[in-house]
Structure 1
Amino acid sequence: MDEVKVILNHISELQRKVIPEVEQMVSLQKEIPLDRQHEIIKEAFDVFMLLNNNLTHPQIKNDSFIKLYVITLFRAMQHFPEPDVIDFFDDASFYEPFQYFWLLARQPFTQEFYATLLAVRNNQRRIQITMLAPLDSQACFYLNGEKLNICSEKSRRVEFYGISLANRITVWLDLPNNYNDDEPIELFCGDKRVIMIPRFGKSRISGVESLNHLVDILHPGRHLYSADAENLWLFIDRADNADDNAEHFYRYVKNNHPDQAAVFVLSRKSSDWERLKVEGFNLIPFGTEAHRKVLKRCSMILSSHLAYYVRDYLGPRLCNHKKIVFLQHGITKDDISSWINSFDLDLFVTSSKEEHHSISHKGSPYFLSEESVARTGFPRHDALVENIDKETKTILIMPTWRRSLVDRFEGTQWIGLDNFQETDYFKSYQHLLSSQRLKELAIKHNYKVIFSLHPNFVIYKSLFTVPSWIEFLLPGVDETYQSLFKQSSLMITDYSSVAFEMAVAKKPVIYYQFDESSFFSGTHTYSKGYFDYRENGFGPVINEENDLLSALEDFMMKGHIQQPWLSRLNEYDVLNDGYSCKRLWEEIKLRIL
């Protein structure tokens, strides 16, 4: 059956059967059976996704069609009681906007708001919550009748295909000076009681817990390890690789602030181990008892990654009471808020002006406030801008990975797909590497070509057939990232943030996006953000191999990139003055110590 007809039939079913059924039970003061609630929600969700996947259909694009669906769904769900529905949403991993329907449909009929408890800072006597509020409402919070100070606020309009539904507000609230940490917290927004749901775990808060209880819910490990805690900073990049922001910032701290106790965690099997050992790094072998001990003892974790083995190695959320500084491993150009919002971060490090604004400004989708986002520049860029003139005639082919092209995560690495060689990704890059035209261009213009896989795709290294005239290198194993960026004249990538490393060095990029139409389909960890590759990129965006080779030939012949990309490189506003580490040290001391 045509999917549009399925949607129409479902709306008709809601109107003719479901809504009268629900309203009749409510009028008779009967409870709607839980199984029936879940059944209605599941059917509605299936149709919601059909609607979501057919937005280009002329009939669905009509505003009245979508409004009809929204109004009908509101009527069907407004009488569903709370905690069972919320648990059902959580267990079923429902698409977040769909949850808005139930929350918003319920608001006119309840004296309560539902808020997600994001973070607690008991040393600062602050709590952070996020919640949906009516479009015309003003956020005013009260505790025991006393109006609370909002020290930081974000507000973002929630829309469903052009229809404004509500405002999502995220606030840090200061508790009163006379509040005792063991006193109950009964929070109100206007005249409605706020029911807080912890972002971690299934515990529901009745609304009368104490600050100490809230801390225990979000930081279950604080009583286990707080007695052993000391002013020790734990640095880590990847479990099996260094050569990223944590390594470079650790080096700065070691050389400039030797009184600060610090360790660097890394696998003994890493190719970086001996290099850092010779340099005098205080290395702790990853996955050992020594690793577990320093995790329990440390006061702060500084990492370029947020993998579970960085934050949850001792167990889920058992390190939440530690200070977490996310150094990033690439400039954020896309919207990764759905991922970042799942973490409680004390400091998020940014580099470019646009990147910083996209994360910290009041209308952004990120829960992070301005006080938690520091534009210091990346520590590794301090080293990148040194000796940048050591460029050779080298083309670096360095694509990113695809979440849809791996199976699952085990231990410290991704498990590959059995059919990887059948994917467009493999076929496209294998064909490019085997191109006779690419070889002829490299020989004619005396260029070296290097091919480098993303670390998450090292599992596929043996599947690629790379001709002998191309160097097949793994960064952090065969050569450092810094060395590759410094020696390269031009990079060919797809969507990777490593393109910004070339921009920092004022070197051009060609974006080979053979799968442009499908990449932002939602299967990866992000969606499109402020950065548009065609409008803001540092080189041309190309979908076909022949066009890619033509653009490469033009660069090789002229020795430089053309306008408008040359101007973009020269005008790119990123902190690359060699003082990023110094600024970061000062921000950590100022903001979170």
Structure 2
Amino acid sequence: MRNNIIWALDRVFITPLEAAIMATGRRPFWLRSNPIENRISLVVPCYNVAKYIDQFMASITSQTTGLEGVEVLLIDDGSTDSTPDIAKKWASRHPQHIKYHRQENQGLCGARNTGLSLATGDWISFPDPDDFVNHRYLQFVDRAITEGSSKDASLICCNFIRYYEKSGNKRNDHGLKFRFGNGRKWLRAAELGDFMQLAINSAFLRRTDVIRLGLTFDKKIVPGFEDANVVNRYLINLPETRVAFLPEAKYYYRKRADESSLQDTARTKKEFYLNQPKYGWLSLLADAKETRTEIPKFIQRTVLYDTIGHFRSHLKRPQALGILTAEEKEQYKQTMADAMAYLSPELVENTELPGLYEDLRVGILNLYFGEKRAYTNAYITRYDDQKNMMRISMYTASDAVNPVIRNDGFEVHKSHLKIIRNTFVGDTFFYEIAFWVPVVPGQYTIELEEGAAQFRLVGKSFNTGITTKEILAKFGKKPTHQGIKARLAARFNDAWLLMDRIDKADDNAEHFYRHLMNKNDGVRYYFVLNRDSPDWERLKREGFNLIAFKSRRHLAALQRAKYLISSHADAYIRKPFSIAQLRDAKYKFLFIQHGVTKDNQSEWFNHIMPALLATATPTEHESIVNPHSDYHLSDKEVFLTGFPRHDALLQLNQERKTIFVMPTWRENLGGKVILPGVRALKPGFEVSEYVTRWSALINSDRLHDLAMNHQLRIVFCPHPNLAKHLDAFKRPPYVETVFVDRIQSLQPLFAEMAVMVTDFSSVAFDAGILNKPVVYYQFDRDAFFSGHIYRTGYFDYHEHGFGPVALEEPDVIDAIEKAISGSEAPQYAERRRETFPFRDGRSSERLYQAVLSLD
């Protein structure tokens, strides 16, 4: 009892009080001082870190060791904010131990090199000023150094804990956290085995050895791997020394909320692709081979671990290489090949590393070694409980692999085949072959002419086959509906929930719901929306059965619903409650899209994997279901139905009253998310080319004269992200501005257009289905597709667009004039007519029948 009281007092009172005192940089008087026995230098490179440096310095000056024997070198690398003043403040408080040094900007490596040249300690570390450390950090490090004096210690590695600034949470979730499990470890530098060290901010090195070996930070390697290059060249030259991994010494690495760190922005810089592999990986591998003859396993694993980020990044977003020229892409590809030539294929085949999954193993072995995996794994990835089918996915080096699936010896029919070619800088990396098979009682086996194969399910291998019972054990849980009264939840058994955005309706879900209201099929239909939405009362008066978003009824409905049907697929719509709350929910997500998919959005769709995807045009449909497309979706899930909102749009009276200007968003202008679907803007937005170009167009005297001569109004419809930044556009008084969020519907505005001016937005398809002219203003085409979340797909604006593409303002106005005067080129009207097979007002009914076919 007494111990419990003491523990409670410590947790509720003492620990928070200690934290509050240490946040000021002081050590609580009741914490015993443990002066260090070894002289330690902390080199802290500082560049515009005024927001963070106080927290870092407080974590150093409040150490239980005190500062005796500690040297802190604050290297100001030409900061332009208040970093110098804050750094000088800390130096003035502790002049014997904290030194401030300012230099012209030389980058991270230059600042660290300066600190290295000024340091005097026996041991040295290079912590970052946006991070912080545990108050016993130096105490534990010093003890390890003292203990290691008899072991010839050369490197002390500290526990790397992520601190998520946005949430304030600390998580031990780093991919290499296994190094700090099961207590302190001492390993020979020559035989680290599966252990490795990349970061130097959480490591301590013997300064005399660093100097003797002539090690410095190579400015060419930034961003990334400059740490690992130094640490590992240090280790390969000290093979008989010892390396310690200290779980108790905790270094807190900040994941910035605004994603502005060097690591966060690395992939936007050419150097990440051209310099990091060449000067980081290759120089280390070459040094290791020359110094040790055979490259140690831990060096190979270190480089392989770093390449995983490059491969994953390219598979996820190949358009990011748009910042490189064709020659630079070839250079990057060759450097990757040169690095892989140093590695062992056996290592790739067998080593375990975070992110090194089956797809990368197959790809690396295929592309760089011309080898195959010893086993081909067939992953059971999905189960359709309505049609009683399962999806099997395999990663292979060839697209000609044809597996035979048997159940109790009888061959099982495969359907909905997908053969997805994944590339790395244009070269075939691996194929993903996926298909569906029926699930019936018995035991499933797999046969391949190319070699051995086995099933994989939830991380477990089944090399002699898998039974239906084992499959259903994973996918066939019965719901328990915890947290909601059964009677309340029962109201929503097998209900269909529909929603558009959380704050606004009038998209495909609203129009589809209106169609469903006339059905007498015994199904319960509900529409989800924020209660404070301006559409709530309108839909309520019309008889919509409304559920407030994130309400108790919303949770109850999701726990029992059969389908969630939405025109938007953001995570907060698909999964608005916690995993625990929706643990037993069985609803399937049906995506009826906000607009026509014209670009390659396979990354996003493959993540969402809706049970149904509604499409509006044959070319859109084919681009997704084609067996060789990049999409995991097949004709099992994708239906050509048309859009419900187009049914309503075609019923409106069509007029010619406006020049409608509606540009889409630019990802490179956005900062952090401030509301669902809304982002802050980055500094410099007001003078960006985006603002300059669109402002010039809507302010054009020629455009104004053209509108007046044809008795047309000019309407500007900016993206919702710009609602609070309209002043940047300096709109003339005769230009009407409308916001999607502030009007009930865009459809009447579309109906009265004489011409639409847009850039890359799929809203042009709304003009297309109305057979209204479009002008595409694409002054930043290359930058748009290199930086946006999707990449170019089947739709070519020059070959398939509903109007001409213009790069300059005079050409835009020329095209507008031709459109409103009836003299546009005839191919554009022909494209508009041919693109849409459905103008019959029956898209909602086709969608309804598609949903029914899921059973």
Pick the TM interval, shorter chain.
0.7 to 0.9
1:509-554 deviations in whole A, cap 9, x for unaligned?
0001121111110x32210000000111011111112221222233
Asked if 1:193 corresponds to 2:448, the answer is no
Aligned residue runs from structure 1 range 91-490, under 5 A: 100-101=363-364, 108=371, 110-114=373-377, 117-135=380-398, 137-142=400-405, 146=409, 147-175=411-439, 177-179=440-442, 189=448, 191-194=451-454, 196=456, 204-207=459-462, 222-224=479-481, 228=490, 230-257=493-520, 259-316=522-579, 318=583, 321-389=586-654, 391-409=655-673, 412-419=676-683, 420-458=685-723, 460-461=725-726, 464-475=729-740, 477-490=742-755
* 1:530-580 residue CA offsets vs partner (Å, 9 max, x unmatched): 000011101111111222122223333x24532331322233233221111
- Which position in structure 1 is the counterpart of 2:155? none
Of the structure 1 ranges 127-136 and 377-386, higher mean CA displacement relative to structure 2 is found in 127-136
The offset of 1:386, in angstroms, is 0.9
Whichever residue aligns with residue 430 of structure 2, its letter is A
Structure 1 segments unaligned to the other structure (5+ residues): 91-95, 198-202
Give the structure 2 partner of residue 56 of structure 1: 325
Amino acid at match of 2:677: Q
Structure 2 Cα separation of the partners of residues 498 and 319 of structure 1: 38
Whether the 8 Å CA contact 1:22–1:79 is kept in 2: the answer is no
State, as a whole percentage, how many aligned pairs show the same letter: 30
Question: Whole-Å Cα distance in 2 between the matches of residues 8 and 453 of structure 1?
Answer: 44
1:502 equivalenced with 2:757 (yes/no): no
Shift of 1:124: 3.4
For the Cα contact (< 8 Å) 2:558–2:587, is it kept in 1? no
Tell me how far apart the structure 2 counterparts of residues 339 and 561 of structure 1 sit (CA, whole Å): 36
Q: Retained in 1: the 8 A contact 2:756–2:764? A: yes
* C-alpha separation in 1, matches of 2:493 and 2:397: 45
In the other structure, the counterpart of 2:102 is: none
Q: Within 2, Cα distance between the matches of 1:71 and 1:436?
A: 58
The Cα shift of 1:174 comes to: 2.8
CA–CA separation in structure 1 for the residues paired with 2:353 and 2:516: 46
Per-residue CA deviation, residues 132-160 of structure 1 (Å, 9 max, x unaligned), is 21226422144677444312211133344
- C-alpha contact 1:302 1:325 (8 A) present in aligned 2: yes
C-alpha displacement of 1:112: 2.4
The answer on 1:572 being equivalent to 2:827 is no
Q: Aligned equivalents of 1:259 and 1:296: distance in 2?
A: 19
Shift of the 538–559 alpha-carbon distance from structure 1 to 2, 3 Å rule, reads same
- What CA distance in whole angstroms lies between the structure 1 residues aligned with 2:305 and 2:339? 13
> Aligned pairs, how many?
567
Kindly state the Cα deviation for residue 279 of structure 1 after the two structures are TM-superposed.
1.1
The residue matched to 2:636 in structure 1 has which SS? helix
CA distance in 2, matches of 1:440, 1:142: 69
Check 1:442–1:61 CA distance in 2 against 1; reply closer, same or farther (3 A cut): same
Deviation at 1:384, TM superposition (A): 1.2
Q: 1:138 to 1:505 in 2, by over 3 A?
A: same
Asked which structure has the greater CA Rg, the reply is 2
**Secondary structure, counterpart of 1:79 in structure 2:** helix
The CA distance in 1 between the partners of 2:711 and 2:497, in whole Å, is: 45
Q: Quote the Cα distance in structure 2 between the aligned partners of 1:338 and 1:218.
A: 24
Secondary structure of residue in 2 paired with 1:153? strand
User: In structure 2, do the counterparts of structure 1 residues 86 and 368 end up closer, same or farther at CA, with 3 Å as the change threshold?
Assistant: farther
Provide the secondary structure at the position in 1 that maps to 2:776.
Answer: strand
Change (3 A) 1:504 1:150: same
Q: Identify if the C-alpha distance between structure 1 residues 58 and 236 changes in structure 2 by more than 3 Å, giving closer, same or farther.
A: closer
- State the structure with bigger RCO (CA 8 A, min sep 6), 1 or 2: 1
Q: Which amino acid aligns with 1:331?
A: V
Change (3 A) 1:325 1:446: same
Query: CA 1:548 to 1:100, structure 2 compared with 1: closer, same or farther past 3 Å?
Result: same
Q: Over the residues paired in the alignment, what is the CA RMSD in angstroms?
A: 3.8
What is aligned with 2:805?
541
Verify the 8 A CA contact 2:699 2:731 in the aligned structure 1.
yes
CA offset at residue 332 of structure 1? 0.7
Tell me if structure 1 keeps the 8 A contact 2:277–2:335.
no
CA distance in 2, matches of 1:99, 1:517: 32
Assess if the C-alpha contact under 8 Å between 1:135 and 1:167 holds in 2: yes
On the 8 A contact 2:615/2:641 being kept in 1, the answer is yes
Distance (whole Å) between structure 2 residues aligned to residue 154 and residue 44 of structure 1 = 25
Q: C-alpha deviations, 1:195-224, integer Å up to 9, x for none? A: 647xxxxx6334487667766767989554
Q: Which amino acid aligns with 1:281?
A: F
Counterpart-to-counterpart distance in 2, 1:77 and 1:164: 21
2: CA distance between counterparts of 1:83 and 1:282?
56
Which residue does the alignment assign to 2:819? 555
Tell whether the 8 Å contact from 1:312 to 1:319 is kept in structure 2 after alignment.
no
- Equivalents in 1 of 2:729, 2:476: separation in Å? 45
1:200 maps to which residue?
Answer: none
Contact 2:442–2:468 (CA under 8 A) maintained in structure 1: no
CA distance in 1, matches of 2:739, 2:773: 21
Look up the match of 2:848.
Answer: 585
Give the aligned partner of residue 56 of structure 2. Answer: none
| Native 8 Å contact 2:278 2:335 kept in 1 | no
Q: Deviations over 1:64-96 (max 9, x none)?
A: x95785476266252235686452358xxxxx9
Q: Distance in 1 between matches of 2:477 and 2:556?
A: 17
| 1:490-523 residue CA offsets vs partner (Å, 9 max, x unmatched) | 10011111100111010110001121111110x3
1:239-278 CA-partner distances (Å, limit 9, x unpaired): 0111110000000000234632111111122222222122
Structure 1 residue matching 2:354: 3-state secondary structure: helix
Q: 2:340: which partner in 1?
A: 73
